[in-house]
A = this chain, B = another copy of it.
Amino acid sequence: MKKIINDPNEVVQDMAAGLIAAHPDELQQLPGTTVIAKSNAPIKNKVAIVSGGGSGHEPAHAGYVGKGMLDAAVAGEVFTSPTPDQIFEAIKAVDGGAGVCLVIKNYTGDVLNFEMAAELAEAEGIDVEKVVVNDDVAVDEESSRRGIAGTVLVHKVAGAKAEQGGTLKEVKAAAEKVVENVRSMGMALTPCTVPAAGTPSFQLGENEMEIGIGIHGESGIERKSITTADDIAKELTDRILDDFDFTGGDVAVMINGLGSTPEMELYIVNKQVQAILAEKGITVYTTFVGEYMTSLEMTGCSVTLLKLDDELKTLLNEPSQAPAFRS
């Protein structure tokens, strides 16, 4: 295991401290937790957005804490859901009286723990709504679909709606509109190693890649020989287009690196994705290329498409001051 870390069991605490040290004016770590919140939270009468999940997906989620996106992110251990009590602390810290919208990636542990935290908060009189993101079309059954890079667009839209003064119900509705209209699909060339485990969670042959892999290395739909960037981009994009009708509206495109893929390669993938969309008559409104939802040092990428209406366009365009998503 080649990593730049100290104690493998302290990576999340060390990371949180380093993140706060980088952004001391904008971010705070809630004492005794690995919750990262805006330093000026709670903001009176603004709906607060809270997300989180296992660590190892940086900049998700703490990098998205900032004006215009999240009010707090709860960092679990690496690839492990945060506990309900930590999520509850986050909710309490950011509620400004207008309620809190939880953005949850669709994993059993996350859903359970965020739900338990929501119940604890509601028992204290805080209004809470939940939005579950399940954009990964590699899984056939919609209810089992994992939340991956599309989650970042949910953060952006929910955060912007809250910043505009939307009510809790309006913020939830905007976030759910993204969930309904966003689809993603990923692939990997190499596995990654959870620091406390010390060995890769799976193996891929020297010439192998896995299509449809999850952001924790969950099984994909096919393991096969590495092919060209154009073929990979086509396979991911076709699967997304087969799943949902993206015609008749503009789309946002996100080409997301999983950790070790050079930005050069993400742009090469983007070239082909855009060509496919152009051929299908699908108009691209905006494009994001970079590392938005990673899997430690996994090599690979995902493609995300979000179908836009006027409201979503406006919300995507609103400013964000989050360290990992400035616009």
Chain A interface residues (CB < 8 Å from chain B): 2-6, 11, 14-19, 21-23, 55-56, 58-59, 63, 189-190, 206, 209, 226, 228-230, 232, 253, 255, 259-272, 274, 287-289, 291, 294, 296-297, 299-301, 326-327
The answer to whether B262 touches A297 (Cβ under 8 A) is yes
B265 to A22, Cβ gap below 8 A?
no
Which residue of chain B is the closest to A301 with respect to CB atoms?
A: B4
Q: Which of B6, B190, B271 contacts A229 (CB 8 A)?
A: B6
Q: Which of B4, B264, B265 is A265 in contact with, Cβ under 8 Å?
A: B4
**CB pair A267 B19 closer than 8 Å:** yes
| Complex alpha-carbon distance, A22 and B255, angstroms | 10
Max chain B C-beta neighbours (<10 A), residue from A23, A58, A261, A271: A271
Cα A326 to Cα B327 in complex, Å, equals 7
Q: Complex Cα distance A270/B289, Å? A: 25
Q: Are B18 and A228 in contact, CB atoms less than 8 angstroms apart?
A: no
A22-B287, A23-B287, A326-B327 given as contacts; is B264 within 8 A of A2 (CB)?
no
- Candidates B4, B189, B226, B271; contact of A17 at CB < 8 Å: B271
B297 touches A260 (CB 8 A): yes
B2 touches A226 (CB 8 A): yes
Look across to chain B and name the residue whose beta carbon is closest to the beta carbon of A232: B4
Residues of B within 8 A of A206 (CB): 2
**15 further interface pairs, Cβ-Cβ under 8 Å (given A2-B209, A14-B267, A18-B289):** A3-B265, A4-B232, A4-B265, A6-B268, A14-B229, A18-B266, A22-B255, A22-B270, A23-B287, A55-B264, A56-B262, A58-B262, A58-B264, A259-B262, A262-B294
CB contacts (< 8 Å) of A299 on chain B: these are: 2, 260, 297
Pairwise interchain contact B297-A14, C-beta atoms closer than 8 A: no
